[in-house]
């Protein structure tokens, strides 16, 4: 979408086959998912494991960028703890990379897209000229959740 935001997709499984949960970006994925249900197949999900996060974070760190990752809330999944463990595990490999992993603390509101709306609005606010430092500091109201 031009913002340079990388997404680590969750996945779901049906009859031993794994599929990315990219339904918001690929309309055909949504049809496939609900097609499975219509045929009586029940998709199962699992959290992103530490290894998956390590691979994702390494790719970003190798490009020379810092990592600011917002996890699906601990109200829905324990993936946040795997992301923290992954960041800790690879910090020594990338001493000049800053790792920030945030628990969105959200459950239901993820289905409504609220965390994405807040994040994208904050990104746009931070890019604006003339925004004072105090406003920038509080634009997301997330600093108390930051783990480095």
Q: How many percent of the chain have pLDDT more than 90?
A: 27
Hey, what are 132's tokens?
Answer: 């004072």
Q: What is the pLDDT of residue 63?
A: 92
The predicted-structure confidence for 98-147, as pLDDT tens digits, reads as follows 888 888 766 544 444 555 555 555 566 556 666 566 555 544 443 333 33
Q: What is the pLDDT of residue 32?
A: 87
How much of the chain is in helix, strand and coil states, percent to nearest 5? 45, 15, 40
Mean pLDDT of the chain: 76
The residues facing 47 across adjacent strands are: none
State whether residue 45 is helix, strand or coil.
strand
List the Cα angle 55/59/63 in 5-degree steps: 160
pTM for the complete prediction? 0.67
């Amino acid at each position: 979408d031009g913002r340079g935001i990388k997404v680590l997709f969750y996945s779901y499984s049906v009859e031993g086959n794994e599929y990315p949960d990219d339904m918001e970006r690929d309309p055909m994925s949504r049809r496939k998912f609900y097609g499975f249900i219509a045929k009586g197949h029940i998709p199962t999900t699992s959290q992103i494991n530490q290894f998956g996060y390590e691979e994702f974070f390494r790719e970003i760190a190798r490009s020379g960028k810092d990592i600011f990752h917002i996890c699906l809330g601990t109200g829905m999944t324990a993936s946040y703890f795997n992301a923290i463990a992954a960041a800790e595990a690879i910090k020594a490999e990338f001493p000049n990379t800053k790792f920030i992993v945030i628990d969105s603390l959200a459950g239901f509101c993820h289905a409504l897209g609220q965390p994405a709306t807040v994040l994208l609005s904050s990104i746009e606010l931070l890019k604006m000229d003339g925004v004072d430092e105090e406003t920038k500091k509080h634009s997301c109201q997330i600093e108390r959740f930051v783990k480095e």
